[in-house]
Amino acid sequence: MARQKPQKKIRYAVVGLGHIAQVAVLPAFAHARRNSVLAALVSDDPTKRRLLSKKYRVPGFSYEQYEECLADVDAVYIALPNSMHAEYTIRAARAGAHVLCEKPMAVTADQCEEMIDACASQGVKLMVAYRLHFEEINLNAADLVRRGRIGEPKYFNSSFSMTVRRGDIRTKRALGGGTLYDIGVYCINAARALFRAEPKEVIALSVNSGPDKLNEIDESTASVLRFDGERVASFVTSFNADDVASYRIVGTKGQLLVNPAYEYAEGLAYELTVNGTTRKRRTGKRDQFAPELLYFSDCILKNRDPEPSGEEGLQDVRIVQALYESADTGKVVQVPPFTKRTRPTGRQRITRPGIEKPDLIKAQSASED
């Protein structure tokens, strides 16, 4: 069962010390000190444990020492390969630790349900680290659509691509690699949020032109989601193309372009066009990870249900699986009905200044550049 609720600050262990943890999660604690504190690190790499423990002045634990680490913290931030999310979430829940898990939530919907059940049975909070649920530009975009500024939203289109480095974990099928798991979930999540609805059916086409580094996964995938009200969302994801990260939603009275839309290493921007007049909004670089920590810690301290919840992560993984099934079979795949129970609140609009990229220890960006 969950341990007695802390009174002031949530003590976190960051589990997995790869690129995202080092460049974004660990530095974010400096901006989340109001209610969150870095208390431990977990890695299978002794060099990372030693040097990062010294840098952040916290103890380091191996994977074999995970339960020992869990005894000294209130929550974990899981930044492991996708295939390890379920196991380490369930183990944390059984030890009474709350879980903030990187996206995608897991590799299969069954794993997601096991994670949700484990956390619920132990009375601990579970949140999926969709950082854009707290980011100003994307929140403003959703608000503009909700308020009817573009009329009735009709279709969504997105492109998200990068040239992935050879050997990156995203290229390994056994680790949960693939374009839809890594970057496609952003497009799916954005379309669902903007339409405020769930897709009924999907169809997809995956291609691979033959690069050795991508021989285990899809190189590029084109996806189409059909929503109630005869609305559609389409997007292309690729691990072998120039960097693009944007989406456009078009309605009966106007359109909204968000570009860049999904990045965390730079500021984001949108263009709202109505009746031929375009209004632009841009932000500078922001820390998108500290808001997650601040919000999740408040949920723990004040016993609130977090959003994005486990069910949000489950739905995106369910859609990813349906898209890959469609790509494999060449057929339209139905998506089971889903009703979202948790909703965003005004408490999610949290802004913190950007951070400088730290020196990395045995970690590389997914991109070749």
How does pLDDT run across 136-176, given as a tens digit for each residue? 999 999 999 999 999 999 999 999 999 999 999 999 999 99
Give Cβ neighbours of residue 259 (< 8 Å, ≥ 6 apart): 245, 246, 247, 269, 270, 271
Average pLDDT over residues 77-82: 98
Average pLDDT over residues 76-95: 98
Give pLDDT, residue 345.
65
**Residue 224 and residue 230: Cα distance in Å, rounded?**
12
**Rg value, the chain, Cα:** 20
Res. 5: pLDDT tops 60: no
Give pLDDT, residue 366.
83
The helix (H) or strand (E) run that includes residue 100 is strand 98-101
Give pLDDT, residue 3.
57
Give pLDDT, residue 2.
57
pLDDT confidence bin for 8, thresholds 50/70/90: confident
**Residue 289 and residue 322: Cα distance in Å, rounded?**
29
Classify domain 10-132+289-306 by CATH architecture: 3-Layer(aba) Sandwich (3.40)
- Tokens found for residue 18: 């790869």
The total of other beta-carbon atoms located within 10 Å of residue 62's CB is 14
Question: Where exactly does CATH 3.40.50.720 map onto the chain?
Answer: 10-132+289-306
How does pLDDT run across 229-241, given as a tens digit for each residue? 899 999 999 999 9
Region of poorest pLDDT, from 119-133, 280-294, 329-343: 329-343
CATH number assigned to the domain with residue range 136-282, chosen from the 4 options 3.30.360.10, 3.40.630.30, 3.90.480.20, 3.40.50.1110: 3.30.360.10
| Mean pLDDT, the chain, whole residue set | 95
% of the chain at pLDDT higher than 90:
89
Give pLDDT, residue 344.
63
Give pLDDT, residue 355.
85
Give pLDDT, residue 369.
57
Question: Where exactly does CATH 3.30.360.10 map onto the chain?
Answer: 136-282
Res. 129: pLDDT tops 70: yes
Give pLDDT, residue 64.
98
Nearest residue to 181 via CA among 218, 226, 231: 218
Res. 356: pLDDT tops 90: no
If one compares 363 and 13, the residue with the highest pLDDT of the two is: 13
**Residue 44 and residue 88: Cα distance in Å, rounded?**
13
How does pLDDT run across 237-283, given as a tens digit for each residue? 999 999 999 999 999 999 999 999 999 999 999 999 999 999 999 99
Res. 339: pLDDT tops 90: no
132 backbone dihedrals φ, ψ, rounded to 5°: -75, -10
**Residue 206 and residue 221: Cα distance in Å, rounded?**
4
Give pLDDT, residue 357.
85
If one compares 157 and 351, the residue with the highest pLDDT of the two is: 157
Res. 6: pLDDT tops 90: no
pLDDT confidence bin for 351, thresholds 50/70/90: confident
Amino acid at 311: E
Contacts 24+ apart (CB under 8 A), 329-338: 331/203, 332/201, 332/202, 332/203, 333/201, 333/202, 333/203, 334/200, 334/201, 335/198, 335/199, 335/200, 335/201, 335/202, 337/198, 338/198
